[in-house]
Structure 1
Amino acid sequence: MREVPQPAPDRIVPVAGHPLVVGIVPGQPDLVALTAAAWATDLRVPLYFAYADQERVVDEEYPDGTVRHSSLQPDVVDDSWLRRQQAILSFLNGLIGDRVPWEFRYLAGRADRALTHLARAVGASAIVVGARHPSSTERVHEFLAESVGLHLSRHQHRPVLVVPLSVVDWKAPAPWK
Structure 2
Amino acid sequence: MPHQVPQPGPERMTPFDGGTLVVGVRPGSDPLVVLTAAALARATGGELFVAYVDEQRFTEREFADGAVQHSDLNPDAADDSWRQVEAELKAELDGLLAGAGVGWQFRYLAGRPDRSLTHLARAVDAAVIVVGNRAPEHGAKVREFLDGALALKLAQHQHRPVLAVPLSVVDWKAPMPWA
TM-score (norm 1): 0.93
Amino acid aligned to 1:116:
T
Tell me how far 1:141 sits from its aligned partner: 5.1
Q: What residue is the counterpart of 2:84 in the other structure? A: 83
Q: What residue is the counterpart of 1:104 in the other structure? A: 106
Instruction: Judge conservation of contact 2:64–2:123 (CA < 8 Å) in 1.
Output: yes
Q: What residue is the counterpart of 1:92 in the other structure? A: 93
User: Percent identity of the aligned residues?
Assistant: 51
- What secondary structure, in the 3-state scheme, does the structure 2 residue paired with 1:125 have? strand
User: How do residues 108-127 of structure 1 correspond to structure 2 at under 5 angstroms?
Assistant: 108-127=110-129
Residues of 2 paired with 1:161 and 1:71: CA distance?
A: 30
Residues of 2 paired with 1:40 and 1:175: CA distance?
A: 34
- Which stretches of structure 1, 4 residues or more, deviate above 3 A after TM superposition? 137-141, 172-176
Tell me how far 1:134 sits from its aligned partner: 3.2
Residues of 2 paired with 1:105 and 1:174: CA distance?
A: 39
Q: What residue is the counterpart of 2:168 in the other structure? A: 166
Q: Does 1:65 align with 2:62?
A: no
Q: What residue is the counterpart of 1:26 in the other structure? A: 27
- Over residues 8-46 of structure 1, what are the superposed CA-to-partner deviations in whole Å (9 max), with x where a residue is unaligned? 111111112221000111111110011111111111111
Q: What residue is the counterpart of 1:133 in the other structure? A: 135
Q: What residue is the counterpart of 1:54 in the other structure? A: 55
Tell me how far 1:133 sits from its aligned partner: 2.8
- What secondary structure, in the 3-state scheme, does the structure 2 residue paired with 1:57 have? strand
Residues of 2 paired with 1:92 and 1:33: CA distance?
A: 8
Residues of 1 paired with 2:144 and 2:93: CA distance?
A: 27
Residues of 1 paired with 2:76 and 2:174: CA distance?
A: 53
Sort the Cα spacing of 1:68 and 1:5 in 2 relative to 1 into closer, same or farther, 3 A.
same
Residues of 2 paired with 1:113 and 1:3: CA distance?
A: 18
Tell me how far 1:102 sits from its aligned partner: 0.3
Question: What value does the CA root-mean-square deviation take over the aligned residues?
Answer: 1.7
Residues of 1 paired with 2:175 and 2:67: CA distance?
A: 46
TM-score (norm 2): 0.92
Q: Does 1:41 align with 2:42?
A: yes
- Over residues 112-143 of structure 1, what are the superposed CA-to-partner deviations in whole Å (9 max), with x where a residue is unaligned? 00000000100100000000233223444533
Q: What residue is the counterpart of 1:7 in the other structure? A: 8
- What secondary structure, in the 3-state scheme, does the structure 1 residue paired with 2:126 have? coil
